[in-house]
């Protein structure tokens, strides 16, 4: 099966994850897709195909050369984002893109605008897979899956390309931060791996945010407002005071590159109780730790002003910057990917991830795992698209990595 045909088939399966369930994987549809994918891996000739009860799918392409070579892996996630529906995806292919706005849905006037998304202009003259404006596309990360599977099939059909043992792994629940929760690094048994989960052509990432979540619960005291003087404590107002104590420009809408932030992602409350939930992000570990200490400091200030127990902080680390595990001893993994991209005519763009990947956690679990572009853009929404030549270059990069790995 050709790469894009395979991709268009995969996006027909609704595999949204859901952080509100206690299931593993979080939605049954992910396991259903994993079972179909497992059969496909067997049919193209991969060996040791295993699908565990948590929805983790692994397989092997045996080495076809006599010389000892490292075991390398390629990983992608099966789920799509809960941010927008992945049900009944109806992709459309824009042939020979002309550089104008793309009408995704004329009836509902949904337009992929070059003014809003100017990056698309770099793909003039190319064929682009878009949505119909009603769902996400699913290139994140079914493009990665399609690229890996198609590359493995190509290697099977072209034994003249010599390579070592290759492992592939497909995970559930990456989009809700749980993709590495049950990943068996020992069973995967690779020397290193790559997640095919990046965006634009040429992206290569071995740095990501350090990440934590913070929940602050505020306790108030409700009294009839007509008789509340010196008695009422409005938890909502105290929560608002706390929010205003954080640096106003250290938020996602004011930061880029290596700049970190505090991001208020939810708030709710009454006079009696209020809750603020934040995510904390920074590439620098020391600055990340200072950000967490600042949250603690501000909670203490609230309690000093309004009384002990008014504010309670729950901090939880989520993942760390994989650079800590890549840069000291494993830069050869990054350099190999750069060499492979250059060999297939891709200009490599090494950049930090302003987020996280399964590879970040896997790197701390003992599997060095940088992130390589899969080619899609505008993930998680109706304006997601995949330039077909970018997907083809991603697949070629996989092939060249397999060939060059020594």
Q: If residue 156 lies in a helix (H) or strand (E), which one and from where to where?
A: helix 139-157
Based on the number of CB atoms within 10 Å of its own CB, is 380 exposed (0-12), middle (13-18) or buried (19 or more)?
middle
- The strand pairing partners of 51, in sequence order, are 57
- Which residues are identified as catalytic? 79, 174
Helix (H) or strand (E) holding 218, with range, is strand 210-219
CA angle 356, 359, 362 (to 5 degrees): 120
- Per the rule left: phi > 0, alpha: psi between -120 and 50, beta: everything else, 352 is beta
CA atoms within 13 A on the CB side of 279: 15
Name the CA dihedral angle for 170, 361, 20, 374, rounded to a multiple of 10 degrees.
-50
Chain centroid, CA 312 distance in Å: 30
**Rounded to whole angstroms, how far apart are CA atoms 243 and 258?**
23
How far apart CA 249 and CA 232 sit, in angstroms, is 32
Q: CA-CA distance, 240 to 333, in Å (whole number)?
A: 46
H/E run at residue 292 = helix 285-306
Check if the beta carbon of residue 387 is closer than 8 Å to that of residue 331: no
Given a contact cutoff of 8 angstroms between Cβ atoms, the answer to whether 145 and 395 are in contact is: no
Question: 3-state DSSP call for residue 182?
Answer: coil
| Alpha-carbon distances of 100 from 119, 346, 386, rounded to whole Å | 12, 25, 16
In order of 92, 94, 131, 141, the CA distances from 388 in angstroms are 12, 10, 14, 15
Structure tokens at 394: 């991603």
């Amino acid at each position: 099966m050709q790469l894009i045909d395979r991709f268009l088939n995969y996006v027909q399966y609704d595999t949204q994850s859901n952080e509100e369930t206690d299931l593993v994987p979080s939605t049954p549809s992910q396991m259903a897709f994993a079972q179909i994918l497992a059969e496909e891996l067997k049919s193209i000739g991969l060996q040791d195909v295993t699908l565990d009860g948590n929805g983790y799918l692994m397989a092997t392409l045996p080495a076809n050369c006599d010389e000892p070579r490292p075991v390398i892996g390629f990983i992608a996630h099966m789920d799509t984002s809960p941010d927008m529906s992945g049900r009944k995806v109806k992709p459309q292919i824009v042939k020979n893109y002309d550089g104008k706005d793309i009408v995704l849905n004329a009836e509902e006037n949904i337009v992929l605008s070059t003014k809003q998304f100017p990056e698309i202009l770099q793909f003039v003259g190319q064929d682009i897979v878009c949505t119909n404006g009603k769902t996400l596309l699913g290139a994140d990360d079914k493009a990665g899956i399609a690229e890996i599977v198609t590359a493995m099939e190509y290697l099977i059909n072209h034994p003249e390309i010599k390579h070592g043992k290759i492992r592939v792994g497909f995970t559930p629940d990456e989009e809700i931060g749980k993709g590495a929760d049950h990943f068996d690094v020992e069973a995967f048994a690779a020397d290193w791996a790559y997640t095919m989960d990046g965006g634009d052509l040429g992206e290569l990432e071995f740095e990501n945010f350090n990440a934590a979540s913070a929940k602050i619960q505020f306790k108030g005291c409700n009294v009839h407002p007509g008789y509340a003087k010196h008695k009422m404590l409005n938890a909502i107002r105290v929560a608002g005071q706390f929010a205003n104590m954080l640096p106003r420009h250290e938020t996602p809408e004011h930061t880029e590159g290596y700049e970190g932030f505090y991001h208020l992602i939810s708030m709710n409350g009454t006079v009696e109780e209020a809750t603020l939930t934040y995510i904390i992000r920074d590439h620098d570990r020391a600055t990340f730790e200072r950000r967490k200490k600042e949250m603690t400091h501000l909670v203490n200030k609230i309690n000093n002003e309004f009384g002990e127990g008014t504010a309670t902080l729950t901090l939880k680390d989520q993942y760390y910057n994989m650079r800590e595990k890549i840069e000291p001893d494993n830069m050869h993994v990054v350099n190999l990917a750069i060499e492979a991209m250059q060999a297939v005519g891709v200009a490599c763009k090494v950049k930090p991830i302003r987020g996280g990947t399964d590879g970040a956690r896997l790197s701390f679990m003992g599997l060095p795992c940088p992130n390589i572009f899969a080619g899609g853009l505008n993930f998680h929404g109706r304006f997601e698209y995949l330039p077909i030549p970018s997907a083809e270059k991603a697949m070629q990069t996989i092939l060249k990595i397999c060939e060059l790995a020594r």
